[in-house]
Amino acid sequence: MAKFDILEDLKWRGAINQETDEEGLRKYLAEHDDLALYCGTDPTGDSLHIGHLIPFMILKRFQMAGYHPVILIGGGTGAIGDPSGRTTERVLQTAEQVKHNEESLTNQMKKLFGTENFEIRNNAEWLGKINLIDFLRDYGKYFQVNNMINKDVVASRLENGISFTEFTYQILQAIDFYHLNKDDGVQLQIGGGDQWGNITAGIDLIHKLEGSDRPAFGLTIPLMLKADGTKFGKSAGGAVWLDPEKTSPYEFYQFWINQDDRDVVKYLKYFTFLSHEEIEDLAEKTEKEPWKRAAQKKLAEEVTKFVHGEEGLKEAQMITDALFSGDIKNLSVTQIEQGLKNAPSAEAGSEKKNIVDFLVDTKIEPSKRQAREDVKNGAIYVNGDREQSVDFEVDPSSAFDGKYVIIRKGKRKYTLVTIK
């Protein structure tokens, strides 16, 4: 049976920026049952973020199509620092930082890829063993400084300067590809658009050392921008992390559900495993009945399930539904904390207090007159119950472990009042 045409699928998804030898790769795929491919990540932080998912989703697609993905953790390269896409020199990380980050990233990757037909390698394993003299004799000789300087990454830094350390980075990534190609039969390297120079450096090295007919290919993915032209992946509050301690499943779900109609179809293509037909159907719905936000809901569902599992998705949806309907009584304290992390907050004492005073003291209402009016009109909810009597006493010990009182004003304006 003919294999699924993965390159066509990637093209349809808009996920190919540059390829070193499309024809050669197609031929290789047609003539071989297997292909091993890799993507590297330097341990510069202790969690992946959704920018990392862009190349990883492609690795996953190859895995699902029966090919063999390898993720390389840059324990060696992470100690040096990739100048790609940066205008300034990096601060060197300590060995402890690199180690800690490696462990955290490895756990996250295992969750996304499982253990079947997937490998994690660490380039500290071979880069750490090369001594300086061997480095210069065995590899340095194959790199022309004039070519290295011309690579975008280095050229763009020449004016302000680049250290010899970062300048050498491309050689290290080239050695990785050479090593994985020669010893582990990895034929393809993929990465974000900013990795082109490093990937082609590896292919050149392989061809010089192993002969120009040695199969070695590179593919980069376009840098994804949002409809407003800014880089995708970082929200106003910073990166959207895969670590649930940094970005809760609820926040993660909300990030996807709030995407612009102009971006949502592109994201469905990149971040979900839905079929072409399902995505085309959602594209049509976005066009014809955008107010229903069917595409955003499906996107949020699929990506949250992939990253946080069924449980994480269920929790995110439960919090979303509760906050939307106002029926918050069944939420746990941690769910409240997730759901109202970005809501306005206030503090109050643990004693009972008249509702009008409570609303004014917490600055939810600007005056007693306004507070009385809103209460009487039925616009104020305390811990999920509408309170219309101006004599009502707010009892902080009555809900959410006595930790919080939640005031809702109008349809969905929540304030999280922490009890001191």
Is 182 marked within a binding site?
no
Closest to ligand TYR by CB, 54 or 279: 54
Q: Is 218 in the site for ligand TYR (CB under 6 A)?
A: no
Out of ligand ATP, ligand TYR, none, what residue 251 binds, judged by CB under 5 to 8 A for its kind, is none
Q: Is 166 in the site for ligand TYR (CB under 6 A)?
A: no
Is 178 marked within a binding site?
no
**Of residues 231-250, those binding ligand ATP (CB under 6 A):** 231-233
Is 253 marked within a binding site?
no
Evaluate the CA torsion angle 94, 99, 100, 104 in order and state its sign.
positive
Stretch that binds ligand TYR, among 14-22, 39-47, 149-157, 339-347 (CB under 6 A): 39-47
Q: Is 72 in the site for ligand TYR (CB under 6 A)?
A: yes
- Find out whether 417 and 346 touch, Cβ atoms under 8 Å: yes
> For ligand ATP, which residue of 16, 18, 21, 44 counts as binding (CB under 6 A)?
44
Q: Which residue has its beta carbon closest to ligand ATP?
A: 192
Cβ burial of 384 (10 Å; 0-12, 13-18, 19+) is middle
**Least distance from ligand ATP to the Cβ atom of residue 106, Å:** 15
Q: Which long-range contacts (CB under 8 A, 24 or more apart) does 337-343 make?
A: 338/248, 338/249, 338/250, 338/251, 339/250, 340/406, 340/414, 340/416, 341/248, 341/251, 342/237, 342/251, 343/414, 343/415, 343/416
Out of ligand ATP, ligand TYR, none, what residue 55 binds, judged by CB under 5 to 8 A for its kind, is ligand ATP
Determine the residue type at 202. G
Closest to ligand ATP by CB, 217 or 232: 232
How far apart CA 64 and CA 62 sit, in angstroms, is 5
Q: Is 43 in the site for ligand ATP (CB under 6 A)?
A: no
> For ligand TYR, which residue of 40, 43, 45, 218 counts as binding (CB under 6 A)?
40
> For ligand TYR, which residue of 74, 249, 312, 339 counts as binding (CB under 6 A)?
74
> For ligand TYR, which residue of 20, 41, 247, 338 counts as binding (CB under 6 A)?
41
> For ligand ATP, which residue of 24, 51, 326, 344 counts as binding (CB under 6 A)?
51
Q: Is 14 in the site for ligand ATP (CB under 6 A)?
A: no
How far apart CA 151 and CA 197 sit, in angstroms, is 6
Count of positions on this chain that bind ligand TYR (CB under 6 A): 13
Out of ligand ATP, ligand TYR, none, what residue 320 binds, judged by CB under 5 to 8 A for its kind, is none
Stretch that binds ligand TYR, among 37-45, 103-111, 320-328, 376-384 (CB under 6 A): 37-45
**Of residues 59-98, those binding ligand ATP (CB under 6 A):** 85
Is 111 marked within a binding site?
no
Window 325-364: contact mask with ligand ATP (x via CB under 6 A): ----------------------------------------
**Least distance from ligand ATP to the Cβ atom of residue 222, Å:** 7
How far apart CA 73 and CA 101 sit, in angstroms, is 10
**Least distance from ligand TYR to the Cβ atom of residue 116, Å:** 23
How far apart CA 154 and CA 148 sit, in angstroms, is 7
Stretch that binds ligand ATP, among 3-11, 165-173, 192-200, 258-266 (CB under 6 A): 192-200
Q: Is 224 in the site for ligand ATP (CB under 6 A)?
A: yes
What residue ranges bind ligand ATP (CB under 6 A)? 44-45, 49, 51-52, 54-55, 85, 191-192, 194-195, 221, 223-224, 231-233
Q: Which residues bind ligand TYR (CB under 6 A)?
A: 40-42, 72, 74, 77, 82, 84, 123, 173, 176, 195, 198
